[in-house]
Structure 1
Amino acid sequence: MLRFLWARKRSLRIALVLAPIFIFLRTLWASPNWTDRSVHTVLRFDPTQLDLNSPDTKRDLCKRHNWKPFYPKNQQSSRRLYDLLMVNTKLEWLEVRLNTTYDHIDYFVIVESPKTFTNRDKPMIVRENLGKLAAYRDKIIYHQLEIPEGFHSDRANPAWAWEDLQRNAMYDQALVRLKGNPAPVQGDAIIVADMDEILRPETIAILKACNFPLRLKPPKSEFYYYGFRFRHKGVEWAHPQATYYRGSKTILPVNLRNSDGRIQPLIKLDTADLWNAGWHCSSCFATIEELLTKLSSQGKDLWDRVGEVYERIDNNQDLPRILLDQRERFSHLLDRDGQNAGFKDHP
C-alpha cells in the first residue's frame, strides 16, 4: 500500500512539473504570435534612403515590424547578408534577381551543378555566361557542385536527393570555405532560395537591421504562375527562408527550407513568418522548351493539382523594377494573352 501511495505521489509531482511546460508549448503551437500577419508584414519604404548604421533608424524600422534591432558584437561592423541560391536553367531569372537586390545584398553565393536532378548532364549556364554578368560580378561567389564519388539515392524520387545535395552545398561546399573579408561572421544573415524566389529590397533591409528569429519562414512571397498576370489565391508561397550564421551550429539549407532537423515544437519556438516579403514566379519561362526542360529535369508534372486556383491581375505594378523598366524584353512575364501565350518559340 505504501509503495502504491509513493508511486502516485511521484506521478503527481511529475505531472505538476510537466503540465505548465505542455500548456506553454501547446499555446505557442496553436496560436504563435510569430505567425500573426498583422505582426510581421513588410511595409513599403525606400531602403536606399535608410542609414542602417544609425541606431535610431534601426530602432524605428524594427519597431514598425515588431522586432528589436540587431547589434553585432563588433560595433565597428554591420550585419552582412548572403544570398545562397541554386541555378539550373534560369539565367534570365538570375539577372532579374541580381538587378533587383544587388544594391542590398553583400554576396550572392551561387552553386551550379553539371547534372540535373534526374542525373542527366546539362550545360553550365552561369559559368559560361559570367561575362554577361560583369555589372554584378564583384558580389558573385560562384561554385561548381562537387558530386561525391558513387553518389546515388535510394529514395522513391531520387530527384529530391540531388536537390538536397546541391542545396546544402551552398553552405558546406561554398559559404564555409570563404576566407578573408568575404567569410561570414557570427550573426550575419543568410537567405536560402530558389532562383525564382526574390526578396523585396525592403525585406533585405529588415533582415540586416533587425534581430529576427533563428528561422524566418519564409519570408512569405506573392505566388505567381507562368507570369505576373496570374497570382495564386490563398496562402502566400512559403519560401525563401532566412537565418543567421552561427558557425558549426548554423542551420543547414535543407533543414531550414524543410523546417526540420529538430523536434517540431522546438522548431516552432524559433520560427517566425514575414508576410508579403517577396515574389515567387513558378514556371515563368520565355519558351515552351524551357518549361519542358524543367519538367523533365526535376521529375515533375502539372497534373492532379486540385485546389490550385489563380486570379488574373491586369496591369500589375507590384513587380521587380527591371520588369517595369524593360517591358518589351520581359513581355512574356507580363502578358500571357494571345494564341502563343507569350512563349517566344511558339508561332
Structure 2
Amino acid sequence: MASKKTARTILGLGFACFLWLTLFCPDRYSGGLHEITTSVSLPSLGFLQASFPKRSQKHADYYASRAAHDFYAAHSYTVFRPRSPTNERKVYDLIIVNSKLNFLEIRLNTLYNYVNYFITIKSPKTFQGNKKPLAPHKGDVMIVADVDEIPRPKTLLVLRSCNYPRRLTLASKFYYYSFQFLHDGPDWPHPQATYYQGWRTLSPTNLRNGDGGFRLTRSGEKGVLGNAVWHCSSCFPTLAQFLNKIASFSHGWMNRDEYRDKDRIAAAVRGGTDLWERDTETFTRIDKNTDVPPMVLREPERFGYMTSRDGPSAGFTDYP
C-alpha cells in the first residue's frame, strides 16, 4: 500500500514538473546544436544608447519587432519575453583576465554597444597553483572621483612621475549646466589622489572627506594641484535626468513643484542662471570654450549640449 502511495506521489510530482516546464517556461531554452549565421543581419540595438524613459519603450519595441523575430528564428531560438513590457534584459560580461590586455581592449571595443556591464575577474592563483600578487604595488597612484570629475591627461603624468602629498586635491574649474557657464568663486575641491601604502592606505571616504589617518599629521599631508581636472555639474542631455537629480537632493525645498517646472529649468539652463535664485550661485558665460575633454570637441553631434545651451531646447533632447 505504501509503495503504491509513493509511486503516485512521484507520478504526481513528475506531472506537476511537466506542467510547470510546459506552461511557465516554454521559451526558457531550445536544445540541440545551433550556429551563428551570417545570412541574417544583426538587428539594431539603438535602445542601449537611448535615455530613459524612452529606453524602456524602445527595449519593448525591440522584442516585438520583425527584425528580432527573424534573427532568432534563423538561429532556431524563440524570442525572449521579459516579465513586463518595460523590463530590460541586461548583459553582464564576466571576463577572466590574466595578461592578454590586447585582447581585453579588442573585446571591450567589439562588444561595447551590446553589453551593459563588463566585469573583470582575476584568479588569486596561477594555473600551476602559485599565488598571484593581487594588490597594487606600494606607491601606485589611486584617484577617488565622481564620474563627472575627469582628470586631465597631464595630471595623470604628474601623478605617475612625481612625488606628491598623501592627500592631494585635484582642484578644477567649476562648470555648471555645460562648459559654457563657469561658476564664480573658488575652484572645485575634488577629486582626490593618494598612493597605495598597504594597510595604511587611506580609504576612499577618508580621502574624499579629508579625515581619517593620524589627526596631528593630517594637515601636513595635504596639498592642492590646480586646474587638474575637468568638472561640469548638472551637464545632462535630458531634462528627465535633471529632474531625477533634483528629486535626489537632501534639501526638500529644492524639490518643490515650482523648481520642477520644465520651462523654468530650461530657461535657467539656457541663460546660465541658478534655478533656485541663490545669490551666491552666479556664473560667467564662456562661448566656444575649447578647454574641454577632447571627445566633447570630436563628437559635437553627441555632446553639443556640453558646450552650448543656446536655442529653444536648451540643449535637452527631450524638450520642448
Q: Give the shorter-chain TM-score range.
A: 0.5 to 0.7
**Given the superposition, is the C-alpha separation of residues 281 and 182 from structure 1 closer, same or farther in structure 2, using an over 3 Å criterion?**
farther
Once residues 165 and 119 of structure 2 are traced to their aligned partners in structure 1, the CA distance between those partners, rounded to angstroms, is: 28
Q: Structure 1 residue 306 and structure 2 residue 279: aligned?
A: yes
Q: Structure 1 residue 254 and structure 2 residue 209: aligned?
A: no
Once residues 187 and 229 of structure 2 are traced to their aligned partners in structure 1, the CA distance between those partners, rounded to angstroms, is: 10
Once residues 235 and 136 of structure 2 are traced to their aligned partners in structure 1, the CA distance between those partners, rounded to angstroms, is: 33
**Given the superposition, is the C-alpha separation of residues 274 and 316 from structure 1 closer, same or farther in structure 2, using an over 3 Å criterion?**
same
**Matched residue type, 1:334:** T
Q: Match of 1:212?
A: 164
Deviation at 1:260, TM superposition (A): 1.0
Q: Match of 2:228?
A: 277
State whether residues 130 and 137 of structure 1, in contact with CA within 8 Å, keep that contact through their aligned partners in structure 2.
no
State whether residues 176 and 235 of structure 2, in contact with CA within 8 Å, keep that contact through their aligned partners in structure 1.
yes
Question: After the TM superposition, which residues 1-347 of structure 1 pair with which residues of structure 2 at under 5 Å, given as runs?
Answer: 128=91, 134-135=108-109, 142=119, 180=132, 183-217=135-169, 219-262=170-213, 266-299=217-250, 301=254, 303=276, 305-347=278-320
**Given the superposition, is the C-alpha separation of residues 289 and 190 from structure 1 closer, same or farther in structure 2, using an over 3 Å criterion?**
same
After superposition, the CA RMSD in angstroms is: 3.8
**Given the superposition, is the C-alpha separation of residues 251 and 299 from structure 1 closer, same or farther in structure 2, using an over 3 Å criterion?**
same
When the two structures are superposed, what TM-score results if normalisation uses the length of structure 2?
Answer: 0.53
Deviation at 1:261, TM superposition (A): 1.5
**Matched residue type, 1:345:** D
Deviation at 1:183, TM superposition (A): 3.1
- Tell me which of the two structures has the higher relative contact order, counting C-alpha pairs closer than 8 angstroms and 6 or more residues apart: 1
**Matched residue type, 2:152:** R
**Matched residue type, 1:183:** A
Return 5+ residue gaps in structure 2 as ranges: 1-48, 52-85, 95-105, 126-130, 255-274
Once residues 130 and 313 of structure 1 are traced to their aligned partners in structure 2, the CA distance between those partners, rounded to angstroms, is: 41
Once residues 204 and 277 of structure 2 are traced to their aligned partners in structure 1, the CA distance between those partners, rounded to angstroms, is: 29
**Given the superposition, is the C-alpha separation of residues 207 and 130 from structure 1 closer, same or farther in structure 2, using an over 3 Å criterion?**
farther
State whether residues 149 and 191 of structure 2, in contact with CA within 8 Å, keep that contact through their aligned partners in structure 1.
yes
Deviation at 1:263, TM superposition (A): 5.9
Deviation at 1:200, TM superposition (A): 0.2
**Given the superposition, is the C-alpha separation of residues 230 and 91 from structure 1 closer, same or farther in structure 2, using an over 3 Å criterion?**
farther
Identity of aligned residues (%): 43
When the two structures are superposed, what TM-score results if normalisation uses the length of structure 1?
Answer: 0.49
**Given the superposition, is the C-alpha separation of residues 135 and 182 from structure 1 closer, same or farther in structure 2, using an over 3 Å criterion?**
farther
Once residues 318 and 281 of structure 2 are traced to their aligned partners in structure 1, the CA distance between those partners, rounded to angstroms, is: 27
Deviation at 1:305, TM superposition (A): 3.9
Larger CA Rg, structure 1 vs 2: 2
Structure 1 runs, 4 residues or longer, greater than 6 Å off: 129-133
Structure 1 stretch 231-240 or stretch 199-208: which is displaced more? 231-240
**Given the superposition, is the C-alpha separation of residues 262 and 182 from structure 1 closer, same or farther in structure 2, using an over 3 Å criterion?**
closer
Deviation at 1:221, TM superposition (A): 1.0
**Given the superposition, is the C-alpha separation of residues 184 and 293 from structure 1 closer, same or farther in structure 2, using an over 3 Å criterion?**
same
State whether residues 220 and 237 of structure 1, in contact with CA within 8 Å, keep that contact through their aligned partners in structure 2.
yes
Aligned length: 194
State whether residues 229 and 334 of structure 1, in contact with CA within 8 Å, keep that contact through their aligned partners in structure 2.
yes
**Given the superposition, is the C-alpha separation of residues 290 and 141 from structure 1 closer, same or farther in structure 2, using an over 3 Å criterion?**
same
Once residues 194 and 110 of structure 2 are traced to their aligned partners in structure 1, the CA distance between those partners, rounded to angstroms, is: 24
Deviation at 1:181, TM superposition (A): 6.0
Deviation at 1:246, TM superposition (A): 0.8
Once residues 253 and 136 of structure 1 are traced to their aligned partners in structure 2, the CA distance between those partners, rounded to angstroms, is: 32
Deviation at 1:130, TM superposition (A): 6.9
Deviation at 1:306, TM superposition (A): 3.3
Deviations 1:232-254 (A, max 9, x none): 12211111000011111110111
State whether residues 323 and 330 of structure 1, in contact with CA within 8 Å, keep that contact through their aligned partners in structure 2.
yes
State whether residues 335 and 342 of structure 1, in contact with CA within 8 Å, keep that contact through their aligned partners in structure 2.
yes
Q: Give the match's secondary structure for 1:330.
A: helix
Deviation at 1:329, TM superposition (A): 1.3
Once residues 287 and 346 of structure 1 are traced to their aligned partners in structure 2, the CA distance between those partners, rounded to angstroms, is: 8
